[in-house]
Structure 1
Amino acid sequence: MELAPEQCRAARGLLNWTQEHLAERAGISRSTVRDFERHRHVLHRGTESMLVQTLQEAGIMLLPPGEHGPGVRIR
């Protein structure tokens, strides 16, 4: 699943996580999260996988794009 910057921000909001907290949990730099969420660059596949896995392990469900675009839910 491709992670959208908006999904990343929304997921952090549901979890009440800062960019720094997500970065630490995923094992990546805060600047990577910041720049991705600001549409400054796309993620490498491995980095994207690490973010998705971290969010899913925290209880986030990433919803694929559909009629209303990509979404986020918490389990």
Structure 2
Amino acid sequence: MNKRSATVSGIQPLTPQQCRAARAILKWSQVRLAAKCGLSEGTIGSFESGRRIPSPAKLAAIRRGLEAAGVVFIDQKTAVTKSGPPRETISGT
């Protein structure tokens, strides 16, 4: 798998795991996500399976499509709360 960065215009990289999880939260199929993003089902499937990393523009389209549906991505070190600003999380070892 190509390890290139997918940051486009300030949009953070999207991982296959995040994409699958976001689709699961929305109860969307790969076909529905592809339609919402203007991409092919093959692009979504290849990305989620780890066979290919789409172009940064396509990754940005996927992320925008998921965010437009209400998905909020946060980094692994930050938790977002409704009552205040992001705070550091404590991870167990």
- Tell me the TM-score normalized by structure 1: 0.84
**Counterpart amino acid of residue 56 in structure 1:** E
| Aligned twin of 2:69 | 58
For residues 77 and 14 of structure 2, what CA distance do their matches in structure 1 show? Answer: 14
**Would you say 1:45 and 2:56 are equivalent positions?**
yes
Runs of 5+ unmatched residues, structure 2: 1-11, 79-93
Q: Which residue number corresponds to residue 88 of structure 2?
A: none
1 or 2, which has the higher helix percentage? 1
**What residue in structure 1 maps to residue 45 of structure 2?**
34
Amino acid at match of 1:40: R
- Larger relative contact order (C-alpha < 8 A, sep ≥ 6)? 1
SS at match of 1:55: helix
Q: Which runs of 4+ in 1 moved over 3 A?
A: none
What is the identity percentage for the equivalent residue pairs of Structure 1 and Structure 2?
33
Corresponding position of 1:18: 29
Residue 3 of structure 1 pairs with residue 22 of structure 2: no
State the alpha-carbon separation in 2 of the partners of residues 57 and 49 from structure 1.
Answer: 12
Structure whose alpha-carbon radius of gyration is higher:
2
Q: How many residues align?
A: 67
Instruction: State the alpha-carbon separation in 1 of the partners of residues 44 and 76 from structure 2.
Output: 21
State the Cα distance separating 1:5 from its structure 2 match.
0.1
Return the offset for 1:66. Answer: 3.5
RMSD: 1.3
